[in-house]
Amino acid sequence: MELANSKSNSRGKSIRNFLGEYYTWIMFIVLYIVAGIIVPNLFTSTTMVTILVQGTTVCLLAFGMTFAMLVGEIDMSIVAVAAFSPMISIMLWEAGLPVPLAMILVLLFGVVVGIFNGLMVTKMKIPSLIQTVAVWWMLSGFVLIVTKGAAKTGLPDAWMFMGRFNVIGRIPLLIPFFVLVLILAIIFARRTVTGRRMYLVGGNADACAAMGIPVDRIKIIAFVMSGVFAALAGYVLSARMGFVSARFAVEWLMPAIAAPVIAGVSMNGGKGNLINVIAGAYLVQLIVMIVRTGGVGGYYTDFVQGVIVFIAILINTFRERLSQ
């Protein structure tokens, strides 16, 4: 009798742990259902696919931000990388660079910016907030200079293939690609030496150094990951929209910060589950969509996004207090 009792207790406990661990998913699902009462057609497959596709940008940016946060840093340059990388690559394509090389170049820009941010933060001891805001403005400013503010349309077909070719129904090729990238990132974070070390470095960098973990290198790799994910986000957005512009993706900076924070990624480093960041990203995406379609004018979106980030921070802080 007692044994059975303790068994069901431990099952109850593990269910509670599970719900506690994945509460972001629950929040997302609940909000989706509630929003469905207000927003028309939210349960149609067309709307669901639209949300899935639109959310890819925030989700990739949020993954990038998460890697920076895991090691106790922040990367504000992601939105600039998301505009700069595809924009400059497209301009080089116009100048004669073959499309495949231009596409590889997109990622390479992400890597280079990541290495630069990582080196400045680790070797020059510049706070990552200052460093990455400076890079954000430099890259955005550079794009403005070379484009004079004009958007680029007429992207090559091969570039847009991912966004335009549907694999099944209205699901474009970029969705399976996106899912694959997320899975690889999750495996990297959880199951590889470097991924796990990011958590350890964020948890206690001194202890890591004392145990022979190359802290600087791990941090630089984290910035490279955030740069690459930002570049991917920019590429995916351009493949979907069919254009690139200087102010591309800027509106997604706040959501990209809010998503990991809502998902419980610690802003002090060392803690965060990427699976929840997906839910966090779609949750924020959904809120932004509700605000847009909910009839409140466009002037409200910045304000609402600020409020979302703030509430996310409050929830996260409250949860961290509770768990201590």
Partner 1 sequence: MIMIRANNISMNFGMIKALKNVSFELEAGKILGLVGDNGAGKSTLLKILCGYLQPTSGEIYIEDKRVQFKSSADAMKEGVAITHQFLELVDMATAWENFFMGREITGKGVGPFKLLDINQMKELTRKAIEKYGLSIDLECEVGKLSGEERQIIAVARAIESDPKILLLDESFTLLSLEGREELVNFLKKVNQQHNVTMIIVSHDLELVKNLTHKIMVLRGGEKIFYGDTEEVSVDQIVEFMLPQE
Instruction: Give the binding site for partner 1 (CB under 8 A).
Output: 187-188, 191-194, 196-197, 199-200, 203-204, 206-214, 270-271
Dmax (CA) of the chain:
78
Three-state DSSP state, 168: strand
CA distance 235 to 54: 13
Closest distance between partner 1 and the C-beta of residue 123, in Å?
14
- Alpha-carbon distances of 190 from 70, 201, 203, 235, 257, rounded to whole Å: 12, 14, 15, 26, 21
**In contact, 197 and 214? CB cutoff 8 Å:** no
- Amino acid identity for residue 246 in this structure: A
**Start-end of H helices in 242-264:** 253-262
| Burial (0-12, 13-18, 19+ Cβ within 10 Å), 216 | middle
> What does R_g of the chain's alpha carbons equal in angstroms?
20
User: Comparing C-alpha atoms, which of 286, 232, 241, 234 is closest to residue 259?
Assistant: 286
- Alpha-carbon distances of 289 from 48, 79, 214, 296, rounded to whole Å: 12, 19, 42, 11
CA distance 83 to 173: 22
CA distance 275 to 267: 17
User: Comparing C-alpha atoms, which of 210, 208, 227, 228 is closest to residue 218?
Assistant: 208
DSSP conformation class of 250? G
Q: Which residues have a Cβ under 8 Å from the Cβ of 250 and sit 6 or more positions away? A: 79, 83, 140
Q: Which residues have a Cβ under 8 Å from the Cβ of 128 and sit 6 or more positions away? A: 68, 73, 74, 75, 117, 121
